[in-house]
Structure 1
């Protein structure tokens, strides 16, 4: 008797998520064999010893008895009020608790936001590099990703002229990731203002992934785009996962700002999709008011002497000492995106190198091409390990690159 395999969706053929993909599966195989690995592929604070702040934990504990029923599909009223108040304080227009949507992390809300928007063949402007969930969600919801370059030689900043030249009659939305994952770029108020004017002129929905809004370094400032957008429709995303080190709570939010009349149908579509999945995780939502109205717990980590700052400095210094690496110092977020000098390492390929580094040195990184860039000589690491471990990781990376390079390129490497 023949056994026919179950066919899968053709849309999955164009979907990649190497952050938890083939290399991560190989890492699990090696660990099962007893290998000890240093895994820098995921921005998961709890895996590196960080804890969610105590006042968030207490808020959940105090409300457990009230967490058994479903809540409103958009989220707990108290939590939506806290999110709306934060955005009103920032200067966003048209924001109310009725325009806040709480989800099981920003990941779920990205999917819902694109599902509510797209018809087959619609285009979404995405940064390159991007967080690959944005590309995947666009494809899985029938859309077409169109990438605008954020090049390392330009500090990974967006080019407004290229963005505008990429717009067609099928373009529906402009996505910003600020601060950016994977590059760590932070966008200036001037640049954001230019992007707002492009979106306004071409009637594009602004989708602003701002999950790293409180994580900036060396005087860089986070600029939310909603206040600059004014009455223009904008959906801004935030959550507890990164700034509040609570990834496992699975709590994110999306906030619609701008003229309510212009986005009324879209708001209804988001509400419908939220109702279809019933509601987000209720216990975690109780932590939202505590997080947004409580003390700042990220500033000491990103300031000089703080753990994230010192790990970032260790990456910067390692790249400066390297015979092979260059780096645009991350201004925000939890990652660095070093580049390899292909003149010194001819034939370098990011995926083959990542696999070799895993097998030979026990370090798991993410190939840069996983973030939808056209080049293959970058890789991403997270800044979450202690600085000492970061230095050890880059010593191993340098050793591996020395093996890849011709002898005369690496002879001065210690």
Structure 2
């Protein structure tokens, strides 16, 4: 018998990173040494004073009691699909197909895997949610960054986006509201991106998981409502607005001219069939979430506005830090006005103060100035304590 050798991982895993979770390793070492921690690194409302609405929990329990515990349709239970369709139409979107998935992340995986071949590229916002980069790395494709303009409230720089397109570009990703900046995109910006996608025959991937957590007076606009012909995949789910991240229920709404999207959609259906289905009983929480009592969203937005205002005020009062006002989601993306590598900053901040944030470079290569991301989900007293520690740290650090 031959000598056993170490198992070598595939090359496609070499560049996969997820800074939001990776930074926790530093925090755990501080905890092992007896230090306290204030977690501002991960967008899980349930870790703070937000709770999944009872009617959604009851809907999932009722489905289990009704024996909906076997496999479901691969695309989703009819009741859930119908509720998503009605919700999409309320936003002005006419769905061609709907796929219910294991979180919005699986929907994103399907959309990219069914589209991108080795060596092809997808334009991704930078800064942006790192899942897209990780998935494209696995597919041996290229996540090609386009800049968000900090001076313009982190709106996409459409001119830079246009310069990034070549003959191997397949799609443009929009995250709106944006993670990590909290920017909400204007109709003018969205129409410019749509025009670019049409000119180059690109698919638009629109991540709208925070679409009801809007902290200004402007409505959220879906690109698919602005162009019914362009192939657009709109992602959403129960994790953020509906405060149920652990349910792992999301969906993709495919829209566009049928003759343009039919083959692409069938490729995604194949992938859905291959993995059987999303969690059967928890899919029954979708109609309850989308069409039931919405009080929890109003309450969440009210709390988040107060915490956003406190966050922006305190950050901008700290020498060496500046922060644009986020208009959606629950993230701030402050800029460090000191000469520092942002990952070193985040690690030092955790080690010295216990305040856990994520370095901005973990969200993409642009901008090249140092930033960090923090959530403003915690109650005001916890945030105030975190800002006190950050202010003291900055006096020493600067």
Same fold (TM over 0.5): yes
Whole-angstrom distance in 2 between the partners of 1:356 and 1:160: 35
- Please tell me whether the aligned partners of residues 53 and 244 of structure 1 are also in contact (alpha carbons under 8 angstroms): yes
Runs of 4+ in 1 over 3 A off after TM superposition: 1-4
Equivalent residue for 1:37?
Answer: 37
What are the Cα deviations for residues 358-378 of structure 1, in whole angstroms up to 9, with x where unaligned?
A: 111011110000000342510
Match of 2:142 in 1: 144
Contact 2:153–2:324 (CA under 8 A) maintained in structure 1 = yes
* 1:19 corresponding residue in structure 2: 20
Pick closer, same or farther for the CA change 1:4–1:401 going to 2, 3 Å: farther
Report if aligned partners of 1:92, 1:258 keep a CA contact under 8 Å in 2. no
Q: Separation in 1 of the partners of 2:90 and 2:334?
A: 36
Shift of 1:274: 0.6
- The alignment's TM-score, normalised by the length of structure 2, stands at 0.96
Q: Which moved more, 1:190-199 or 1:169-178?
A: 190-199
Deviations 1:30-51 (A, max 9, x none): 3344432111111001111311
Q: Distance in 1 between matches of 2:189 and 2:383?
A: 32
In the TM superposition, residue 109 of structure 1 has moved relative to its aligned partner by 1.3
Matches within 5 A, 1:236-275: 236-275=234-273
| CA displacement at 1:130 relative to structure 2 | 0.9
Q: What corresponds to 2:115 in structure 1? A: 117
Contact 1:350 1:379 in 2 (8 A): yes
Look up the SS of the partner of 1:147 in the other structure.
strand
Q: Is the 8 A contact 2:176 2:207 kept in 1?
A: yes
Cα distance in 2 for partners of 1:40, 1:283 equals 32
Where 1:298 maps in the other structure, the secondary structure is: helix
1:360 to 311, 336, 352: 352
- What whole-Å deviation, never above 9, does each CA across 1:161-210 have from its counterpart, x for those lacking one? 22122111101001100000000010011111111111111110110000
- Give, in whole Å, the separation in 1 of the partners of 2:13 and 2:312: 37
Pairs within 5 Å for 1:363-402: 363-374=355-366, 375-402=368-395
Q: How does 1:87-236 map to 2 (within 5 A)?
A: 87-93=88-94, 95=95, 99-236=97-234
- Closer, same or farther in 2 for the Cα pair 1:392/1:2, shift >3 Å? farther
Question: 2 CA distance for matches of 1:233 and 1:88?
Answer: 16
Q: Distance in 2 between matches of 1:290 and 1:68?
A: 18
In the alignment of these two chains, the number of paired residues is: 394
* Secondary structure, aligned partner of 2:155: coil
In the superposition, the TM-score normalised over structure 1's length comes to 0.92
Q: Post-superposition shift, 1:28? A: 2.3
**How far has the Cα of 1:2 moved from its partner?**
7.6
Which consecutive unaligned segments of at least 5 residues does structure 2 have? none
Deviation at 1:404, TM superposition (A): 1.4
Match of 1:325 in 2: 321
Paired with 1:403 and 1:3, the residues of 2 have a C-alpha distance of 53
- Larger relative contact order (Cα-Cα within 8 Å, sequence gap ≥ 6): 2
TM-superposed deviation, 1:26: 2.4
> Using the alignment, how far apart are the partners of 1:114 and 1:234 within structure 2?
12
Which SS does the other structure have where 1:110 is aligned? helix
Residue range with higher mean Cα deviation, 11-20 or 364-373:
11-20
**Distance in 2 of aligned mates of 1:102 and 1:108:** 9
2:277 pairs with 1:279 = yes
Q: Which runs of 5+ in 1 are unaligned?
A: 406-414
SS in 2 for 1:63: helix
> Over residues 286-309 of structure 1, what are the superposed CA-to-partner deviations in whole Å (9 max), with x where a residue is unaligned?
11001111122212322xxx2211
